[in-house]
Amino acid sequence: MSELFDAVDALLASRAVLPPPAERKRLRAAHGLTIDEVATALKVRRATVSGWESGKTEPRPPERDAYARLLDGLAKLYPAPANTGAAEQDAAVPAMFAAPVAPMPEARALPTDPACGAAAMTTAHENTQTPAPTVAQATAFRPVRTAGPASTSRRPGARKAAPAGTPAGGGADPRFENGPLAVLDVDADGQVLAYCTGGLVLHVPAKSLPSLVDWTLKEAKLGQPKLSGPGKDADPLLVLTETVLERYGLPATLTEQERLSGRLPEGHKVIKQLVRAEWKLTKRGFGPWARIYRPAQGSERACVQLCIPSWNALDTRHWGEAGQLPPAELAQMLGVYASRVMTPRGSTAVTGLELMTALHPPTRASEPDADGKRHSEHNPGSLGKDPVDCAPCEAPDGHPLLADLPRFHVRGPDEKLFEEAYDWARPLTDAECLRRHLVGIDVNLAFGAGANGLTVGLGAPTHVKNPAFDPKLPGSWLVDLSHVDLSKVKVGKEWAELDGTLLPSPFTWKGERPEGPAWYATPTVAYAVELGYEVRPTEAWVRYDNGRYLDGWYNRLRDAYLATMADLGVAADLAPEDFLAAMDGYKNRDPELGLVVSAIKATVKGGLGKLRERPRGENWRPGEPWRALSRPTWRPDIRAAVISRTRINLHRKIVKHASFTGQYPVAILSDCVVYAVDGESPLDFLPYREGKPLPGGFKLGVNPGLVKHEGTQSVLWGEGVREQFKAPELNLARYIKDGTVTDADNGE
């Protein structure tokens, strides 16, 4: 009989009545639960629970019974407030479950002038019936409301402060209770709506761009708290869709001339509107990432940033198809990035650089003086507020420091510091040609790992002659490393004999053995000493004022990367086999989170690249300064040190692997290494003993510095490609991921 009862219970559970999607999300948030916690308890994927809460999917037995039981228990703990009307509840019900909706009376217009104040706005809101939302809005968002001081009620059972790295509309700081940003769009009824993170939707009453800026600063409650004590709060970010651009008199796309200049012409009518309203634009003007501000009054900032996807603000190389996402999904995706990295300040490269400054502001408030007043002073550990000159060897071609050089002079390695990532390949040996596959492995967040714990210069360089090399002193050293023989090197404390002809040199990005004195960053010279060889610099530019400036930057980006990868099902503690399985198609589990991962990676690389930004138009001529030189964060020496350390870290692992296995790489591109082996998986050639990797060698895992599988192709494919392009040293690491090679890749 009990079996019959169990069968009946199962039938009842299969039809268990569930609350609407928005209510499911409210109940979870009210109890302070994360999507991951619910997914773990129900033994389903995170994306599955997210689908249940957005209304895209419905749970099925046996999970449906457990999910209904959870929601029923939460509903008893957190009943919906009595003032939550039926219309509000119905708005969250997917169309396929909702009763027919009666035609709504014509909505009365909300006040359009921010000067009308909160009272007028509240009255209009209370006497306006919000039009029925579309299915997409109904299944994914809270009810639409007007922001303002008088609109004190948030969604019933407002969520607690979100855990670090969790996107949320709410937060501990009431000034920014609606999140860091909003995506603006025009609905079918012509109403401008602001889609915020966490599913909140706000009515936007502004009828012009100046009034939109006013509304954002006075009513929207958007922004993000500062990342460090002496820092500044992040300005609110508005993402404008094409329909909103049209509403506010802006073009949907830029003309070719505007695209090349990166801005609208100064005489554009919208810019004139801003000028009349006494708003200013930064030097980059009104472009894809425009900043509209008034000079700060004391500590009060008045600045709003605009992001315009249709003007290519979200570069597809780094953000994929993010610019094509629906407004609500775009807000959620950018909200994840903002909460884990920072509110975007421009391209991923610009944001990466701004993150450094946000974590290490150049100044701080001093201790009170005799009159009790505080003053601005240098913040220890920062780069300061004034730029410093680089050393002549660190200056890129065309720099003002090199203005006295002959016009067509080409600097050699003894005149120019040239620390770059690997681009090296060699022909396969006869034994390697008999192997079946080429397997590529790729270092996770390699340049981030290279920045971790690295001591870099903070101030100006000091020139010294015939210095004793100090591996703890950041700088650039002129030294001859041509005597380092890779056939006999120290690996740890023991000498090892290797086939040096099959290894790239660690001292040049092309892997060629240096032929004489050259400039190197400290990590490169220190590695020569580590390999067991004496070094005698003849000259150096060193920085006695130094510190681990990039540690906080790396830690934040690492945490953002690991949290997002964990959301995609790739945890940091997986066994090698499980890690490879989890990485297989991980971005497809949640494409939007996959875009966040790509953006985080681009933030690391782009931020470091910005440290040596070159002229970008500006009618620049060689020998003249360019705009980036005026920044204290224009520091080519820091970029060189990070790249040097990243390349050395990779070479150290290659040497360790070669000394233990006798296997040598056939190609290296930046952080990707290719080996010729018989198997198709990294596990077929990486030495693991009882699940433990070779100490100091390559290790599979998601953490920065560990490696993942980049791709596998056949040896016949590799030899065929090289034969096709008549290039025996074509870098196969460039194409190992999917095997696609085009004529354009090879200059044909």
The answer to whether residue 744 scores a pLDDT higher than 70 is no
Confidence of residue 55 (pLDDT cuts 50, 70, 90): confident
User: Which residue, among 146, 307, 150, 170, has the nearest Cα to 240 in the 3D structure?
Assistant: 307
Confidence of residue 97 (pLDDT cuts 50, 70, 90): very low
Every domain of the chain and the residues it spans: 2-91, 135-345
The answer to whether residue 118 scores a pLDDT higher than 50 is no
Q: How far is residue 73's CA from residue 578's CA, in Å, rounded to a whole number?
A: 35
Q: How far is residue 559's CA from residue 263's CA, in Å, rounded to a whole number?
A: 35
pLDDT per residue as tens digits for the range 266-315? 999 999 999 999 999 998 899 999 999 998 776 678 999 999 999 999 99
User: Which residue, among 623, 684, 615, 696, has the nearest Cα to 654 in the 3D structure?
Assistant: 696
Neighbouring residues of 531: CB distance < 8 A, sequence distance ≥ 6 = 484, 486, 489, 490
209 versus 128: which is more confidently predicted?
209
Q: How far is residue 420's CA from residue 405's CA, in Å, rounded to a whole number?
A: 24
The CA–CA distances, whole Å, from 464 to 439, 526, 540, 670 equal 46, 18, 5, 32
DSSP 8-state code for residue 443 = E
Q: How far is residue 667's CA from residue 122's CA, in Å, rounded to a whole number?
A: 66
Per residue in 648-673, is it b (16+ CB within 10 Å) or e — as a string?
bbbbbbbbbbbbeeebbbbbbbbbbb
User: Phi first, then psi: what are they for 411, rounded to 5°?
Assistant: -75, 135
- Give the pLDDT score at 277: 95
Q: Is 523 exposed, middle or buried (0-12, 13-18, 19+ CB in 10 A)?
A: buried
pLDDT per residue as tens digits for the range 662-675? 999 999 999 999 99
Considering the segment(s) 2-91 as one domain, its CATH architecture is Orthogonal Bundle (1.10)
The answer to whether residue 426 scores a pLDDT higher than 50 is yes
The answer to whether residue 606 scores a pLDDT higher than 70 is yes
The answer to whether residue 593 scores a pLDDT higher than 80 is yes
CB half-sphere exposure, 222, CA atoms < 13 A: 37
The answer to whether residue 227 scores a pLDDT higher than 90 is yes
Q: How far is residue 233's CA from residue 78's CA, in Å, rounded to a whole number?
A: 33
User: Phi first, then psi: what are they for 450, rounded to 5°?
Assistant: -65, -25
Q: How far is residue 655's CA from residue 494's CA, in Å, rounded to a whole number?
A: 13
- Give the pLDDT score at 81: 66
pLDDT per residue as tens digits for the range 34-48? 887 888 888 887 778
Percent of the chain with pLDDT over 90: 68
User: Phi first, then psi: what are they for 593, rounded to 5°?
Assistant: -70, -30
DSSP 8-state code for residue 685 = T
Neighbouring residues of 158: CB distance < 8 A, sequence distance ≥ 6 = 29, 30, 170
Segment 216-244 mean pLDDT: 95
User: Phi first, then psi: what are they for 723, rounded to 5°?
Assistant: -70, -40
Confidence of residue 142 (pLDDT cuts 50, 70, 90): very low
- Give the pLDDT score at 3: 63
Segment 535-545 mean pLDDT: 98
Of the candidate ranges 87-96, 424-433, 463-472, 482-491, the one whose mean pLDDT is the lowest: 87-96
Chain mean pLDDT for the chain: 86
Q: Residue 49 corresponds to which amino acid? A: V
pLDDT per residue as tens digits for the range 427-461? 999 999 999 999 999 999 999 999 999 999 999 99
Percent of the chain with pLDDT over 70: 84
Q: How far is residue 16's CA from residue 344's CA, in Å, rounded to a whole number?
A: 43
Of the candidate ranges 115-124, 500-509, 647-656, the one whose mean pLDDT is the lowest: 115-124
The answer to whether residue 200 scores a pLDDT higher than 70 is yes
User: Which residue, among 282, 277, 142, 141, has the nearest Cα to 217 in the 3D structure?
Assistant: 277
| Residue listed under structure tokens 């602001």 | 194
Segment 599-624 mean pLDDT: 93
